[in-house]
Structure 1
Amino acid sequence: MSHLRSSTELLGELIAFPTVSADSNLALIDHLANRLEHVGARVRVLGDDSGGKANLFATLGPEGDGGLMLSGHTDVVPVVEQPWDSDPFEMVEKEGALFGRGTCDMKGFIACAMVMAEEYARRPLTRPVHFAFTYDEEVGCLGGQALVTSLREMEIRPDMAIVGEPTSMRIIEGHKGCCEYTARFRGLEGHGSAPDRGVNAAEYAARYAMRLLELREELKARTPALSRFDPPWSTINIGGIHGGHAHNVIAALAEVEWDMRPVHWGDADFVKAEMTRYVDAVLKPAMQAVDPEADITVETIGEIPGLEPMELNAARDLVARLTGANGTDLVAFGTEAGLFQSLGADVIVCGPGSIEQAHMANEYITVAQMQACLDMLDRLV
């Protein structure tokens, strides 16, 4: 059976596991672990504290430090209220494309890596080849952070890593960081006819959000002179504002969900310091002047470092030779690559499928992109 046919069939199996981040990924991890054990890989399943999620780390080839790591996340985004033309968890092949939730983000790469693992197992590897499949990338890179901690404890440091996020097989050598937060507001409920007697959590959430928008504009003035990102400055996005339950009731609870994509970590520190000052010096005193129990708390969902472009990057140079690419790019979206770079590895992001299809209804990956990924992975050894 050809590698393409095998990877396509395996992708269909992987899509059938509905590994939305809110749910368990253990069945999928067990499926991958069994396949890797079957070809002789040394497999570690690393569970989280809840018992419902796990990372998988497996190695072919000799023991020891170094080697190359192929990495992908197993979780997918929800399909709720998206207008799919077919069951998102049953892969459909049509006109050279494979449709299903996670086809490009990023089970297509995982399927290719798994099929090539069977090929690698038949070859006399002189350096380790690692496979790292994580949980909860879509909700803060939680699995990636846990995996980095595990690798440090196991004293395993790959020399190079390829993160197979959908880049249309372009080599990405840098991306911004990703920081996600939820600010929660507790006010004092009351009748809407007497707003001064209550503490309207929704109003303070709105003021908090407006300060974020002001900082978003200020970040443009902090753009690094040689920034290659698009846009070249750090960004802030308000993902959600929730609060209140009736037109004529002072809202007692509200929250703001927001994220920041810093070009460099100094911008992240600047925004956090400004928002802390604004909350402590402006918002909280005004709230607590009416009700001492009123409060604002900010939960850090995740703070993931960016992938810093490096002058010397063996992974970039290797993949350029394998694919014939003449250049590299930077992207604004985040991945787990910066986490692996923190281990000291040379890291790039390169995988099949387009980010423009990720998270969308009728998500798909083309068969041609699968083949291009298989060709690259075949040339690795």
Structure 2
Amino acid sequence: MNATEILARLISFPTVVGTPNGEIVDWISTYLKAENFAVTIMPGPEGDRSNLFATIGPRDVPGYIISGHMDVVPAEVAEWTSSPFGLRRDGERLYGRGTTDMKGYLAAALAAAPKLARADLAHPIHFAFSYDEEAGCRGVPHLIAKLPALCTVPLGAIIGEPSNMRAVLAHKGKAAASVTIRGRAGHSSRPDLGLNAIHAMASVLNAAIEQADRLSVGPFDQSFEPPYSSLQAGVISGGKAINIVPDLCRLELEARAVSGVDPQSLLAPIRKKAEALREAGFSVDWEEMSAYPALALDRSSPLVSLVEDLTNQTALGAVSYGTEAGLYQAAGIDALICGPGDIGRAHKPDEFILDSELVACQNFIEALGQRCQA
């Protein structure tokens, strides 16, 4: 099967983040086993989602990880010209949810698998395909934790998020959390008998706004846009009717941190403000939704020169979006981003990738295999 045919199969699995992915995992596993890859399926704690790790070549020497996620963001069918879970061609454009982010990368890797399998590899190539990346990299930590039992410490990990096949060396870290405040309901004519959860949340929201303002004055890292850490409240909900004292309010917020800053620490002042409301009789629940560290790979890493050589492009300093790369680096594995397609097409209706981009990515992975030959 060529990369386009494989991509059509992958797109046909509606692996929306947070939903079961058994069908796509089984299909990829069967495909790779037929090419003599050693495949390990690792169910996550959710019970209905799994990571997949596959190796070709010797396991007892260091090699390279080709890393990508199998989940996609939701797609509103009414906004699409065609079915988001059926591949549609229009000239060189291949439309479908996940074509760019990032089943195109998976398809190119799988299309390269037969050639990798025929090569006399002195260093292995590993495929590490994760779940629920779009929910804040929830699946890959379980995979990374098991790597010591699966392979020798790798020489590097290449995370195939869309970067126009240009190596990217840094991205911000992220932490997201929700806070739920419970008060006491009552009639709006007697607010003194209730505990207004929305009013209480106002102090938490103000703390978030104040923290966002503080972050805008630094520390700075000019590699990023904006060049400082940021924080925002993204979702707020609460109340049932205008004449009822609301007993429940929920806020979701996120922080994105420049390299060297712990993103979870940026949320600490907001958490402190929320938990102080318990003294006024409110119930407060703080839930960490997701977190991953920043990526900051030094240009002196051999992985950088290797990928620059294979792509014939100079590495880019940083991007604004986040990936699983920071988690690999935190585990002691050099990591960078390099994948087909443009991030500007991701998470939008009529997402697409180009034939030429799939070919370039497949050629890149096959060339990596050639570098790993005896």
2:232 counterpart of 1:244: no
Q: Which runs of 5+ in 2 are unaligned?
A: none
Q: Distance in 1 between matches of 2:157 and 2:9?
A: 25
User: Is the CA contact 1:171–1:320 (under 8 Å) kept in the aligned structure 2?
Assistant: yes
Q: Which residue of 2 aligns with 1:130?
A: 126
Q: Which residue of 2 aligns with 1:202?
A: 198
| Residues 341-377 of structure 1: CA deviation (Å, up to 9, x unaligned) | 1222221101011111111111111222112212212
Amino acid at match of 1:284: R
Corresponding residue SS for 2:294: coil
Q: Distance in 2 between matches of 1:155 and 1:100?
A: 34
1:155 Cα deviation after fit: 5.8
Q: Which residue of 1 aligns with 2:227?
A: 232
Q: Please point out which of 360, 366, 371 is paired with 2:348.
A: 360
CA RMSD of aligned residues (A): 1.7
Q: Distance in 1 between matches of 2:199 and 2:83?
A: 41
Which region of structure 1 is more displaced relative to structure 2, 339-348 or 126-135?
339-348
Q: Please point out which of 58, 72, 87 is paired with 2:83.
A: 87
Structure 1 residues 153 and 122 mapped into 2: Cα distance closer, same or farther (>3 Å)?
Answer: closer
Which region of structure 1 is more displaced relative to structure 2, 7-16 or 318-327?
318-327
Q: Which residue of 1 aligns with 2:95?
A: 99
TM-score between both structures, scaled by the size of structure 2: 0.94
Matches within 5 A, 1:32-111: 32-80=28-76, 83-111=79-107
User: Is the CA contact 1:176–1:305 (under 8 Å) kept in the aligned structure 2?
Assistant: yes
Q: Distance in 2 between matches of 1:88 and 1:14?
A: 12
2:365 counterpart of 1:377: yes
Q: Which residue of 2 aligns with 1:291?
A: none
Q: Which residue of 2 aligns with 1:314?
A: 302
Q: Please point out which of 163, 174, 191 is paired with 2:187.
A: 191
1:95 Cα deviation after fit: 2.5
Runs of 4+ aligned structure 1 residues displaced above 6 Å come to none
Corresponding residue SS for 2:343: coil
User: Is the CA contact 1:353–1:365 (under 8 Å) kept in the aligned structure 2?
Assistant: yes
1:241 Cα deviation after fit: 0.7
Amino acid at match of 1:135: Y
Matches within 5 A, 1:285-304: 285-286=279-280, 288=281, 294-304=282-292
1:267 Cα deviation after fit: 5.3
Q: Distance in 2 between matches of 1:205 and 1:40?
A: 56
Amino acid at match of 2:121: L
| Residues 158-203 of structure 1: CA deviation (Å, up to 9, x unaligned) | 1111100011212111000111111111111111222232112222
2:293 counterpart of 1:305: yes
1:101 Cα deviation after fit: 0.7
User: Is the CA contact 1:72–1:165 (under 8 Å) kept in the aligned structure 2?
Assistant: yes
1:82 Cα deviation after fit: 5.8
| Residues 106-133 of structure 1: CA deviation (Å, up to 9, x unaligned) | 0000000011011100111110100000
Amino acid at match of 2:322: G
Q: Distance in 1 between matches of 2:108 and 2:200?
A: 49
1:81 Cα deviation after fit: 6.9
Q: Which runs of 5+ in 1 are unaligned?
A: 289-293
Structure 1 residues 186 and 81 mapped into 2: Cα distance closer, same or farther (>3 Å)?
Answer: farther
User: Is the CA contact 1:167–1:355 (under 8 Å) kept in the aligned structure 2?
Assistant: yes
Amino acid at match of 2:356: A
| Residues 10-34 of structure 1: CA deviation (Å, up to 9, x unaligned) | 1010000000012101110110011
Structure 1 residues 360 and 276 mapped into 2: Cα distance closer, same or farther (>3 Å)?
Answer: same
Q: Distance in 2 between matches of 1:307 and 1:166?
A: 16
2:115 counterpart of 1:119: yes
Q: Distance in 2 between matches of 1:196 and 1:358?
A: 49
1:280 Cα deviation after fit: 3.5
1:308 Cα deviation after fit: 1.3
User: Is the CA contact 2:39–2:54 (under 8 Å) kept in the aligned structure 1?
Assistant: yes
2:6 counterpart of 1:18: no
Identity, in percent, stands at 37
